[in-house]
Amino acid sequence: MNAESLILFKLYIMVTPLLFIIGLFAIMTTKNIVAIIIGIEIMTKGVTLLLATSGYFSSKPEITQNFIIVMIIIEVVILTIAAGLIINIAKRYDSLSTKNIRNLKG
Angle at 29 between CA 25 and CA 20, to 5 degrees: 15
In terms of C-beta density within 10 A (0-12 exposed, 13-18 middle, 19 or more buried), how is residue 15 classed?
middle
The Cα 52–Cα 57 span in angstroms is 9
pLDDT band at 68 (very low <50, low <70, confident <90, very high): very high
The Cα 76–Cα 70 span in angstroms is 10
| Domain ranges, ordered by start, for the chain | 3-93
- Write down the CATH number for the domain with range 3-93: 1.10.287.3510
CA distances from 76 to 5, 7, 69, 82, 100 (A): 32, 32, 11, 10, 26
Q: Which H or E run includes 105? A: none
pLDDT of residue 18: 94
pLDDT tens string 16-65? 999 999 999 999 999 899 999 999 999 999 999 998 888 888 888 889 99
pTM (2 d.p.): 0.83
